Amino acid sequence: QTVVTQEPSFSASPGGTVTLTCGLSSGSVSTSHYPSWYQQTPGQTPRTLIHSTNTRSSGVPDRFSGSILGNKAALTITGAQADDESDYYCVLYMSSDIYVFGGGTKLTVL
Amino acid sequence: QVQLQESGPGLVKPSETLSLTCTVSGGSISGYFWSWIRQSPGKGLEWIGYIYYTGSTNYNPSLKSRVTMSVDTSTNQFSLRLDSVTAADTAVYYCARYGPWSFDLWGRGTLVTVSS
């Protein structure tokens, strides 16, 4: 079964740029996987940040951007802030018409 | 605005069936795909499956043998049934709408514990 890979944890400095990635255990991520990204703080419902690789959801600051970098999808946070400290999940749409979540990345800003 | 609300028992015995309902308010269930997603305590998110408002479904292959989803457009509700549950099925269960290429609306989630 396909596994979607994410960094388990990532540390950033306030004001810094963070790039989280979303890959496949076999093969490359492309726009055809319609990568989407979600932010979840503890005890809260996930919030949609990015869909269709690079489209920001309504109300999401432009500090958040999505792209394909090499063979992975990427979420970049420019000017990281303390309240960006959260878990981040990507989701890929697979050709078998199923959706697979990555394991999530725990972002620490300090 | 459209809101989703999960409902159902918070405690299910091992080997029994977990049943949850998601009520869509403030909008129509028609025209969208609707999913169930779960999150085990301290773990990541797992897509369980989707149901289209017409009733067509697709499920996570790892759960397919135990999952059934249904939809009732007259009541604006869709449901999840998970058979033969074990402790590994203990999780917060979310219902979500699949909008333009993302899960754009989520319910608040409901914790289901599998225990005797």
Predicted confidence (pLDDT) per residue in A66-92, tens digit: 999 999 999 999 999 999 999 999 999
Do B6 and B109 form a contact (C-beta atoms < 8 A)?
yes
Q: Does B40 score more than 80 pLDDT? A: yes
Cα A23 vs. chain centroid, distance in angstroms?
Answer: 10
Of the residues A95, A98, A105, the best mutation for testing chain B's interface (the one with the most B CB atoms within 10 Å of its CB) is A98
Determine contact: A23 vs chain B, CB below 8 A. no
Do B63 and B75 form a contact (C-beta atoms < 8 A)?
no
SS (H, E, C) B34-61: EEEEEECCCCCEEEEEEEECCCCEEECC
Q: Say which residues have a Cβ less than 8 Å from residue A61's Cβ, sequence separation at least 6.
A: none
- Average pLDDT of chain B is 96
Do B90 and B82 form a contact (C-beta atoms < 8 A)?
no
Angle at B113 between CA B108 and CA B115, to 5 degrees: 175
Partners of residue A97 in chain B, C-beta under 8 Å: 58
Are B47 and A97 a contacting pair at CB < 8 A?
A: no
B61: nearest CB among A89, A93, A98: A98
Partners of residue A36 in chain B, C-beta under 8 Å: 101-103
Are B104 and A101 a contacting pair at CB < 8 A?
A: no
